[in-house]
Amino acid sequence: MKELSHWINGEHVKGTSGRFADVFNPATGEVQSKCPMASAAETEAAIANAAAAQVEWGATNPQKRARVMMAMVGLMNRDMDKLAEALSREHGKTLPDAKGDLQRGLEVIEYCIGAPQMLKGEFTDSAGPGIDMYSMRQPLGVVAAIMPFNFPAMMPLWHVGPALACGNAVVLKPSERDPSVPLMLAELFVEAGLPKGVFQVVNGDKEAVDTLLDSETIQGVSFVGSTPIAHYIYSRATANGKRAQCFGGAKNHMIVMPDADMDQAADALVGAGFGAAGERCMAVSVAVPVGDATADKLIEKLVPRIEKLRVAPYTDGNDVDFGPVVTGEAKKRILGLINSGVEQGAELVVDNRDFSLQGYENGFFVGPHLFDKVTKDMDIYKTEIFGPVLSVVRAKTYEEAIGLAMDHEYGNGTAIFTRDGDTARDFAHRINIGMVGINVPIPVPLAYHTFGGWKKSMFGDLNQHGPDSFKFYTRTKTVTARWPSGIKEGGEFNFKAMD
Q: What CATH fold (topology level) applies to the domain 252-438?
A: Aldehyde Dehydrogenase; Chain A, domain 2 (3.40.309)
pLDDT of residue 87: 98
Q: What is the pLDDT of residue 498?
A: 45
C-alpha count within 13 angstroms, C-beta hemisphere, residue 454: 13
In order along its 499 residues, the chain shows pLDDT tens digits of: 899 999 999 999 999 999 999 999 999 999 999 999 999 999 999 999 999 999 999 999 999 999 999 999 999 999 999 999 999 999 999 999 999 999 999 999 999 999 999 999 999 999 888 899 999 999 999 999 999 999 999 999 999 999 999 999 999 999 999 999 999 999 999 999 999 999 999 999 999 999 999 999 999 999 999 999 999 999 999 999 999 999 999 999 999 999 999 999 999 999 999 999 999 999 999 999 999 999 999 999 999 999 999 999 999 988 999 999 999 999 999 999 999 999 999 999 999 999 999 999 999 999 999 999 999 999 999 999 999 999 999 999 999 999 999 999 999 999 999 999 999 999 999 999 999 999 999 999 999 999 999 999 999 999 999 999 999 999 999 999 998 776 555 555 555 544 4
Encode pLDDT of 10-44 as tens digits. Answer: 999 999 999 999 999 999 999 999 999 999 999 99
Q: 11: part of which helix (H) or strand (E)? A: strand 11-13
Q: Tell me if the domain spanning 2-248+457-480 has CATH number 3.40.605.10.
A: yes
Give the whole-angstrom CA distance, residue 459 versus residue 213.
15
Q: Please state, in angstroms and rounded to a whole number, the distance separating the CA atoms of residues 108 and 274.
A: 25
Query: Which pLDDT score is estimated for 487?
Result: 59
Q: What is the DSSP string of 274-287?
A: HGGGG-STT-EEEE
Cβ neighbourhood burial of 440 (10 Å; 0-12, 13-18, 19+): middle
> How many residues make up the chain in this entry?
499
pLDDT of 499 reads 46
Do residues 162 and 108 touch, judged by C-beta distance below 8 A? yes
Query: Hey, where are the domains in the chain?
Result: 2-248+457-480, 252-438
State the catalytic residues.
281
pLDDT in tens, 160-195: 999 999 999 999 999 999 999 999 999 999 999 999
- CB 255 within 8 Å of CB 413: no
